Amino acid sequence: MTVARPTTSARSDARRNRGRLVVAARELFESAGVDVPAREVARQAGVGIGTLYRHFPTRDDLVDAVLEGAFEELIAVAEQALAAEDPWEGFTSFIEEALVLHARNRGLKDVVELQAHGLRRARAMRRRLRPLVAELVARAQEDGSLRPDFAPQDIPLLFWASDRVIELAGEVAPEIWRRQLGFVLDGLRTSAATPVAPVPLTYEQLRLVGRNKRGGTA
């Protein structure tokens, strides 16, 4: 049984330290992923390790607090894409802009990829995103530009793939993922379609992916 913990305290030092922890964690998560050692976050925030655990009893609590902003950006990107006049343009710009965020924020990538990280907010974000993505796909398919055998469940696969390219080559060639994505998007046009393995992942299968951590890379 976990006792409810107010996110804001009566004491000014506590509030200040909490803020410092969030700032430090945000910086470190962005550049090094959500797996940075807790001691590192505490050190960068200039507080003791005990203070970190006092404010965030679980790693996921910290992740949730830190990535809220990034989630909002992601959803904003999807909403903007839905507002595009051209459905194909909307579809591709969502993927591209989302990947720009991924490229800038390693922690976001970690959380989006695996189910293993994050808590309520991460899950809420996924729930809010799903219908937007489904609509982007549907719109582009009705338009005739996106191949009809593409499924919304294929979107995560695109992200996994490009995220891997970002992760491996990001430091050497930060924009090379655009090239790889370009090839993929060319294959998603109706005009390019050729029969592929016909069964996409089910949502249930997607739910199971990455349950047991290990983000792959760095």
Partner DNA sequence: AACCAACCGGAGCACCTGTTCCGCTTCTGC
Partner DNA sequence: GCAGAAGCGGAACAGGTGCTCCGGTTGGTT
Site of interaction with a copy of itself (CB under 8 A): 113, 150, 154, 157-158, 160-165, 167-169, 172-173, 175-176, 178-180, 182-189, 191-201, 205, 208-210, 213-218
Sign of CA dihedral 87, 148, 201, 131: positive
The helix/strand/coil state of 146 is strand
Measured from the CB of residue 190, what is the shortest distance to a copy of itself in angstroms?
Answer: 10
Are residues 181 and 95 in contact, defined by beta-carbon separation less than 8 angstroms?
A: yes
- 31 binding DNA? (CB under 7 A): no
Helix residue ranges per DSSP H, 114-171:
120-142, 155-169
Using CB distances below 5 to 8 A depending on partner kind, what does residue 192 bind out of DNA, a copy of itself, none?
Answer: a copy of itself
Rg (C-alpha) for the chain, rounded Å, is 19
When CB distances are held under 5 to 8 angstroms depending on the partner's kind, the choice from DNA, a copy of itself, none that residue 165 binds is: a copy of itself
- Tell me: does residue 37 bind DNA (CB under 7 A): yes
**What is the Cα–Cα distance from 206 to 115, expressed in whole angstroms?**
9
Q: How far is the CB of 5 from DNA (least distance, A)?
A: 9
Identity of the residue, 83 or 197, whose beta carbon is nearer to a copy of itself in the bound complex: 197
Q: Is 172 helix (H, G, I), strand (E, B) or coil?
A: coil
- Taking residue 157's Cβ as centre, other Cβ atoms within 10 Å add up to 15
* Residue with smaller CB distance to DNA, 59 or 117: 59
Residues that bind DNA (CB under 7 A): 9-14, 16-17, 35-40, 46-51, 53-55, 57-59
